[in-house]
Amino acid sequence: MMNWNHFDERQLQKRGNAFKLGFFTLLIENALLLFLFAILYDDPVRIGDLLPFTPATCLTLQIFLAVTVFATYCIWNDCYFSLNENRRYLLALFAACSILNLLMAIAHLIHGDFMEDGVFGTPFINLACGLMMLFICSMILLKRLRQKEDEE
């Protein structure tokens, strides 16, 4: 059986660096959030008073930012895709995920249930996910354009 997810040594080293950056991004985000809670509020359920997000939305946004840091580093250091990976398929998959999430967010905006009790909830996660995937697609395309320019 062919291992389609094979990375060379340089890619593995760079991916390790990307994981570290993503991890430290998440760590810093959590530390800042804990600091805000400790200083301003003693009840984490009241996050809507501090930030306009439900707790689940806030935590999901933190994950999205860490994933974006990881993906951006990998893309610019040529270690996002393995050696035999179908890049066009993955780019199309990411674009489809982005479009679907953005359409779901637009549908919630149209129906007027984008916010839950005055704070951004689950529909905002769709918007953030769609924007994250769109950003990653943009980085992949930008990297491809830069490689073509360098080859010419």
Q: Residues 57-90: pLDDT tens digits?
A: 889 999 999 999 999 999 999 999 887 788 899 9
| Top-ranked range on mean pLDDT: pick from 32-41, 76-85, 91-100 | 91-100
In this predicted model, what pLDDT tens digit does every residue of 23-33 receive, in sequence order?
999 999 999 88
Q: What are phi and psi of 41, to 5 degrees?
A: -140, 150
DSSP label at residue 138: H
Q: What are phi and psi of 116, to 5 degrees?
A: -115, 115
Helix 9-40 crosses helix 55-76 at what angle (to 10 degrees)? Answer: 150
Predicted TM-score (pTM) of the model is 0.86
User: Comparing C-alpha atoms, which of 115, 106, 129 is closest to residue 54?
Assistant: 115
Residues recorded for the chain: 152
Dist. CA 6–CA 12, nearest whole Å: 9
Q: Which of 5-14, 30-39, 106-115, 140-149 has the lowest mean pLDDT?
A: 30-39
pLDDT at 118: 82
If DSSP codes are grouped into helix, strand and coil, which group holds residue 4?
coil
